Amino acid sequence: MANPLLKVENLGLSFIKNSPIFNNINFDIQRGEFVGLAGNSGSGKSALAKTILGFTDPEYLSKDAQITFQSQNKPDGTFNLLNDNEVQVVRGKHISLIFQEAKSALNPVYTCGFQAKEVVIKHLKLAKDDALNLVQSKFKEIGLRNGIYESYPFQLSGGEAQRVMFVMASITSPELIIADEPTTSLDSLNENLLIGELKKLNKEKNIAIILISHDYNLLVNNCHRTLFLKDGMLSENLPKQKPINLEGILPPIISDRTILSVQNITCEIPDEYSLSGRNKTTIIKDISFDLKVGQTLGLVGNSGSGKTTLSRCILQLMPHSGSTIFHNHVLEECSPKKLKAIRQRIQIIFQDPLDSLNPRIKIGKAIMEPLVAHHVGNNNRDRMNIVHQLLEDVHLEENILSRYPYQISGGERQRACIARTLALKPELIICDEPVSSLDAHVRNEILDLLMKLKNDNNLTYIFISHDLGLINFVADSVLVLNEGQVIETG
**Hey, how many other C-beta atoms are within 10 angstroms of the C-beta on 109?**
7
**Hey, how many other C-beta atoms are within 10 angstroms of the C-beta on 406?**
10
Mark whether 149 and 191 lie in a shared domain.
Answer: yes
| The pLDDT of residue 267 | 92
Q: How many domains does the chain fold into?
A: 2
Please check whether residue 370 lies inside any domain of the structure: yes
CA 275 to chain centre: 34
C-alpha count within 13 angstroms, C-beta hemisphere, residue 307: 32
What is the rounded CA–CA span in Å between residue 79 and residue 86?
6
Domain end (from 201, 235, 269): 235
* Nearest Cα residue to 180 out of 93, 287, 51, 356: 51
**What is the full DSSP assignment across 144-207?**
PPTTSTT--GGGS-HHHHHHHHHHHHHTT--SEEEEESTTTT--HHHHHHHHHHHHHHHHHS--
SS3 call for 480: strand
Please check whether residue 241 lies inside any domain of the structure: no
Q: Kindly report the CATH number assigned to the domain that includes residue 171.
A: 3.40.50.300
The answer to whether the CB of 264 falls within 8 A of the CB of 323 is yes
Residue-number span of the structural domain to which 262 is assigned: 258-489
What is the rounded CA–CA span in Å between residue 73 and residue 78?
10
SS3 call for 62: coil
* Nearest Cα residue to 439 out of 415, 419, 466, 473: 415
What is the rounded CA–CA span in Å between residue 92 and residue 100?
16
Mark whether 149 and 298 lie in a shared domain.
Answer: no
Mark whether 438 and 329 lie in a shared domain.
Answer: yes
Mark whether 208 and 316 lie in a shared domain.
Answer: no
C-alpha count within 13 angstroms, C-beta hemisphere, residue 48: 34
Please check whether residue 198 lies inside any domain of the structure: yes
What residues pair up with 7 in beta bridges, in sequence order? 28, 68
Mark whether 185 and 49 lie in a shared domain.
Answer: yes
Mark whether 40 and 128 lie in a shared domain.
Answer: yes
Mark whether 379 and 461 lie in a shared domain.
Answer: yes
* Nearest Cα residue to 62 out of 3, 122, 15: 15
The answer to whether the CB of 26 falls within 8 A of the CB of 8 is yes
Please check whether residue 252 lies inside any domain of the structure: no
Mark whether 225 and 276 lie in a shared domain.
Answer: no
Question: Could you give the C-alpha distances from 361 to 194, 354, 367, in angstroms and in order?
Answer: 34, 12, 10
Radius of gyration of the chain (CA): 23
- The backbone torsions φ and ψ at residue 230, rounded to the nearest 5 degrees and listed phi first, read -150, 135
Mark whether 223 and 263 lie in a shared domain.
Answer: no
The continuous run of DSSP H or E covering 105 comes out as helix 102-105
Mark whether 206 and 290 lie in a shared domain.
Answer: no
The length of the chain is 490
Please check whether residue 245 lies inside any domain of the structure: no
Dump strand ranges (E) for 54-175. Answer: 66-70, 78-80, 95-98
- The backbone torsions φ and ψ at residue 406, rounded to the nearest 5 degrees and listed phi first, read -70, -10
Mark whether 117 and 263 lie in a shared domain.
Answer: no
| The pLDDT of residue 97 | 93
Mark whether 166 and 200 lie in a shared domain.
Answer: yes
**What is the full DSSP assignment across 299-366?**
EEESTTSSHHHHHHHHTT-S--EEEEEETTEEGGG--HHHHHHHHTTEEEE-S-HHHHS-TTS-HHHH
Please check whether residue 251 lies inside any domain of the structure: no
Please check whether residue 484 lies inside any domain of the structure: yes
Alpha helices in 333-475 (DSSP H): 336-343, 353-356, 363-373, 380-393, 410-422, 440-457, 468-474
What is the rounded CA–CA span in Å between residue 323 and residue 332?
7
Please check whether residue 246 lies inside any domain of the structure: no
Each residue's pLDDT, cut to its tens digit, for the chain (490 residues) gives: 568 999 999 999 988 777 788 888 999 999 999 999 998 877 889 889 999 999 988 888 999 999 999 988 766 678 899 988 999 889 988 999 998 888 888 999 999 999 999 999 999 999 999 999 999 999 998 888 888 899 899 888 878 888 899 999 999 999 999 999 888 777 777 788 889 999 999 999 999 999 998 888 889 899 999 999 988 888 887 666 555 555 555 566 777 899 999 999 999 887 654 444 567 778 899 999 999 999 999 999 887 788 989 999 999 999 999 999 999 999 999 999 999 999 899 999 887 787 889 989 999 999 999 999 998 988 999 999 999 999 988 888 898 999 999 888 777 888 899 899 989 999 999 998 888 767 777 777 778 878 888 887 788 999 998 878 788 888 999 999 988 899 988 7
